[in-house]
Amino acid sequence: MFSFFKKKPVVPEVPPAAAPAPAAPAPAAPPATAAVAEQPAASVPAAEPLLAVEEPAPRKSWMSRLKAGLSKTSANLSILFVGAKIDDDLYDELEAALLMADAGVEATQYLLDALKRKVKEDKLLDAAAVKAALKTLMIDLLTPLQRPFELGRHQPLVMMISGVNGAGKTTTIGKLAKHMQSHGQSVLLAAGDTFRAAAREQLMVWGQRNNVTVISQASGDPAAVSFDAVQSGKARGMDVVMVDTAGRLPTQLHLMEELKKIKRVIGKGMEGAPHETLLVIDGNTGQNALAQVKAFDDALQLTGLVITKLDGTAKGGVLAAIARVRPVPVYFIGIGEKIEDLQPFVAADFVEALLG
Ligand SMILES: Nc1nc2c(ncn2[C@@H]2O[C@H](COP(=O)(O)OP(=O)(O)OP(=O)(O)O)[C@@H](O)[C@H]2O)c(=O)[nH]1
C-alpha cells in the first residue's frame, strides 16, 4: 500500500475533490507575469491519459510485481547460488553479474570485498548462507537511499521535478498527485514544460479530468509559470505544488542554466522553496542514469530521486552504483505505467525482489 510520512495531521484548506475549476480568487498581489491559464480551455485537444488505473496496491501484489519487474536484473544474480561451491569461480561470476546489472565498478568491488570478508569471518560454507550474507550487505548498502517522503512540512510543500527527455517526469507527477490526493492533500501543478506545447496540454487535460489545478502559460517562460504556481499555491492554501520542467540533457548547458533559474525564481515566490528538488531517471539507462544524477545534483543540489521503468530492465543494479557514488535518496521507484506501479523505495523489498 502506498504511504507517505505525515509530520502533522494536515487538513487541506481546499478539498481535493472540489469543483474542477478552482473557486478561490487569484492571489491578492497578482504575479508580474500575465496570461496564466488554469485548467484547459474547451478547445484543448484530447491528450493521452497520463495514468491507466487508480487502484491502491496491496503489499503482496506490489512485491510480486516488483519481482516480475526486476526479473531481468535478478536473473543472472539469483541463479549463481544454486548448488554453487564457494570458490573463486563463484566470486568471478558474481562480479560479472553485478557489472552486467550496471551496479558499476565501485559498488561491485565494495560488495565483493565485503562478501569475501564475511564468508571468511563467519566461516560460511554453503551457497545459501553466502547468498543470505550478500542480501544483508546489499540491504545495508541501499538502506541509506531509503527515505520516506514527508508531507505537511510546509504549506504549500513545493516540489520541482527535473530529468532528461522521456524519463517519466510528467507521468510520475500524475501518479504522485493522485497518491497525494488520496492522502487528503490538495495539489496544484505547474506546467513548466513550456518547450513542448503538447506536454502542457496533456498535463492540463489530465488536471481537468482529475480535479487537479494546473497553472499554465502560453508565453513560454518556465520560471514565470513556476513563480505563478507558487504564488497561487500560497494564496489558495494548497498543500502541495509540483513544478514540471521540460526534459533536457545535462550536456545542454544553457538548459541546465535555465533549470537553475527556475529553482531560484521558485525561491523568490516562497522562501526556502523548492522544498524538494527531484530528479526522475529512467532505470533502463543504467550507468548513464548515474551520470545524470551527478550532473543534475551538481546543478540543482537534488533532495531526491524517482527511478522509473525498472520493469523489464536488466540494469536495476544502478541503485547500488548510486548508493556508492552519489547517494541521493530514492523516494519512489516505478515499475510500470499504472498509478499503483509507483511506490516508495524500500531497500529490503528491493533486495528481496532481486535475490529472492
Ligand atoms: N514501462 C514503464 N513506462 C513508464 C514508467 N514511467 C513512465 N513510463 C512511460 O514513459 C513514457 C515517457 O513518460 P513521460 O512522463 O511523458 O516522460 P517525460 O519525462 O515527462 O518526457 P518529456 O516531457 O518528453 O521530457 C510514457 O510512455 C510513460 O507512460 C515506468 O515506470 N515503466
For the Cβ of 193 lying below 6 angstroms from any atom of ligand 1, the answer is yes
286 assigned binding-site residue = no
Q: Indicate whether 27 belongs to any domain.
A: no
Structural domains of the chain, count: 2
Q: Find out whether 164 is annotated in a ligand binding site.
A: yes
Q: Which is more confidently placed, 22 or 260? A: 260
Mutate which of 337, 339, 340 for ligand 1? The one with the most ligand atoms within 8 Å of its CB, which is 337
Residues 136 and 154 in one domain: no
Residue 47 annotated as binding site: no
pLDDT at 130: 94
Same domain, 164 and 281: yes
- What is the C-alpha separation between 71 and 68, in angstroms, rounded? 5
Residue 97, domain member (yes or no): yes
Any domain includes 106? yes
279 and 237 together in one domain? yes
**For residue 19, pLDDT beyond 60:** no
Tell whether 246 and 158 lie within a shared domain. Answer: yes
C-alpha cell, 34: 500575465
Q: How far out from the chain centre does Cα 15 lie? A: 25
- Look up the domain containing 182 and give its range: 149-350
The answer to whether residues 176 and 245 belong to one domain is yes
Q: Which of 147, 188, 170 is nearest to 245 (CA)?
A: 170
CB 349 near ligand 1, within 6 Å: no
Q: Is 244 annotated as a binding residue?
A: yes
Quick one: pLDDT at residue 59? Answer: 61
User: What is the percent of the chain where pLDDT is above 70?
Assistant: 84
- Residue after which a domain boundary falls, among 145, 165, 186: 145
Separation of CA 281 and ligand 1 centre (Å): 10
Strands (E), the chain: 5-6, 36-38, 150-151, 157-162, 187-190, 213-217, 240-244, 276-282, 304-308, 330-334, 342-344
What CATH number is associated with residue 173? 3.40.50.300
From the CA of 50, how far away is ligand 1's center (Å)? 9
Contact 240, 155 (CB under 8 A): no
Residue-wise pLDDT tens digits, 202-256: 888 889 888 899 998 877 789 999 999 999 999 999 999 999 999 999 999 989 9
Per-residue pLDDT band at 194 (split at 50, 70, 90): confident
- Which of 145, 174, 194 marks a domain boundary? 145
Domain stop point among 145, 175, 204:
145
Q: Who has greater pLDDT, 171 or 43?
A: 171
Question: What is the per-residue pLDDT for 174?
Answer: 93
Same domain, 189 and 276: yes
Taking the C-alpha atoms of residue 51 and residue 40, their distance in angstroms, rounded to an integer, is: 18
Q: Is residue 190 part of a domain?
A: yes
CA 336 to centroid of ligand 1, rounded, Å? 9
Residues 278 and 305: beta-carbon distance below 8 Å = yes
**ipTM for the whole complex:** 0.96
Residue 321's pLDDT is what?
Answer: 97
| pLDDT, tens only, 97-151 | 999 999 999 999 999 999 999 999 999 999 999 999 999 999 999 999 999 999 9
Amino acid 8: pLDDT: 53
Q: How far is the CA of 109 from the centre of ligand 1 (A)?
A: 32
Percent of the chain past pLDDT 90, that is, above it, reads 67
Do the annotations mark residue 199 as ligand-binding? Answer: no
- pLDDT band of 50, cuts 50, 70, 90: low
CATH number of the domain encompassing residue 127 = 1.20.120.140
Note whether residue 303 is domain-resident: yes
Distance 168 CA to ligand 1 centre (A): 3
Rounded Cα distance, 171 and 174, in Å: 5
pLDDT of residue 341: 92
- Tell me, yes or no, whether 133 and 156 share the same domain: no
- Number of Cβ within a 10 Å radius of residue 141: 21
In a domain, 120, yes or no: yes
For residue 69, CA distances in Å to 143, 316, 329 come to: 20, 10, 21
The answer on 262 and 168 residing in a single domain is: yes
Whole-model pTM: value is 0.86
CA-derived radius of gyration, the chain: 22
User: pLDDT band at residue 6, thresholds of 50, 70 and 90?
Assistant: confident
Ligand 1 atom nearest 244 alpha carbon: 20
Residue 25 lies in a domain: no
Tell me: do 164 and 264 sit in the same domain: yes
Residues 194 and 315 in one domain: yes
Q: Is residue 37 part of a domain?
A: no
Which cell goes with 122?
A: 563467519
